[in-house]
Amino acid sequence: MIQLVRLEREPPEGFDALVADAEAEGHRHLTRLKVELSEAAPFTAILAAFHDGDLVGVSALTPEPADPARQRMRRFYVAPRARRLGVARALANALLQEALQHTRHVTVHAGDPQAAWFWEAMGYAPVEAQPWSHVYAG
């Protein structure tokens, strides 16, 4: 069962292991998230995903730095052991609902082709010549 938990400023139990998973895949964005949590960065929302009690994913929502009228989904990560279980979709849908309370335009930056495929399957359109790779225009 997938459970989403809203975070404040403390990383949840198991966060260091999730950071290690991300770094093993060459992703450093969760290390940045840990620093941002301690520095009180301007998050609209931060969600942690648990599967059967195990922390398996995390994502955050912030104002889009290049256009604060938009919201940006960022620091999105799901551990390999939890992929294809609906965790990413649950995180993305929950943060999208949060974002749509503030704007009709939500951006993401897909870091690789697999991420781009995921965001396009979620209804985000690819864009060029922007500081983001995809946008949801609800």
Question: Which parts of 15-62 fold into alpha helices (H)?
Answer: 15-24, 29-38
Please tell me the predicted confidence (pLDDT) of residue 111: 84
Q: For residue 26, give every residue at least 6 positions away whose Cβ sits within 8 Å of its Cβ, in sequence order, or none.
A: none
| Predicted local confidence at residue 98, as pLDDT | 94
**Would you say residue 133 has pLDDT above 80?**
yes
pLDDT digits (tens, 9 = 90+) for 19-52: 999 999 999 999 999 888 888 778 999 999 999 9
Q: Examine the pLDDT at 8 and tell me if it is beyond 90.
A: no
The answer to whether the pTM exceeds 0.95 is no
Q: Phi/psi of residue 52, each to 5°?
A: 50, 40
**Residue 53: is its pLDDT beyond 90?**
yes
The whole-number pLDDT of residue 38 equals: 84
**Tell me, what's the pLDDT at 79?**
96
For residue 8, what are the CA distances in angstroms to 32, 39, 46? 16, 12, 7
**Alpha helices of the chain — where are they, by DSSP H?**
15-24, 29-38, 87-99, 113-121
Centroid of chain to Cα 81? 17
Structure confidence by residue, pLDDT tens digits, 85-117:
999 999 999 999 999 999 999 999 998 899 999
Q: Which domains does the chain have, with CATH numbers?
A: 2-137 (3.40.630.30)
